Amino acid sequence: MLQKIRWFLSLAAVLVVVIVAFQNQDAVPLTILFFSGEYPLTLLLLGFSGVSFVLGCLMTAWRIRSRHKAQATRESEAKKALASESKKPEASAKEASSTKKKGIAGNESAEASIGLDQEAT
């Protein structure tokens, strides 16, 4: 619905610019930097409106591209974080099992040195 309203307003703005441009057909002097001359106001209004439209489209495309790049960066960082979190439990489980094995081996050597083996008793 919002998109339809936006299209309608854009069309209305273009229609107003065209009506105003064609109602003002007088020749006006134009001086821009080193360029000067007399041109019909219709040509100038339509020309500058067209240039501003193109610049607006380019800026909008640039903003959309920036948003997509930022979103892609956030998604890749989230995937990396998720992948590292999923690896952490596996690594901690491996560390826990190796710690248990070390602990059991350490207890066996301690028992053997104290003489608490079942064979010794």
Residue 39 and residue 26 in contact, taking contact as beta carbons nearer than 8 Å = no
Q: Is the pTM of this model over 0.85?
A: no
Structure confidence at residue 115 (pLDDT): 56
Structure confidence at residue 11 (pLDDT): 93
Instruction: Tell me the β-bridge partners of 29.
Output: 38
d(CA 62, CA 42): 30
Torsion angle in degrees (nearest 10) through CA of 53, 54, 55, 57: 90
Query: What's the Cα-to-Cα distance from 119 to each of 106, 110, 111, 112, 115, rounded to whole Å?
Result: 18, 15, 11, 10, 9
Residue 67's CB: how many other CB atoms inside 10 A? 10
For 49-95, write each residue's pLDDT tens digit: 999 999 999 999 999 999 999 999 998 888 888 888 777 655 555 55
For 21-62, write each residue's pLDDT tens digit: 888 888 999 888 888 999 999 999 999 999 999 999 999 999
Residue 61 and residue 74 in contact, taking contact as beta carbons nearer than 8 Å = no
Residue 24 and residue 41 in contact, taking contact as beta carbons nearer than 8 Å = yes
Structure confidence at residue 12 (pLDDT): 94
Is the model more confident about 98 or about 39?
A: 39
Statement: residue 96 has pLDDT above 70: no
**Of 42, 38, 52, the residue nearest 21 (C-alpha):** 42
Structure confidence at residue 34 (pLDDT): 87
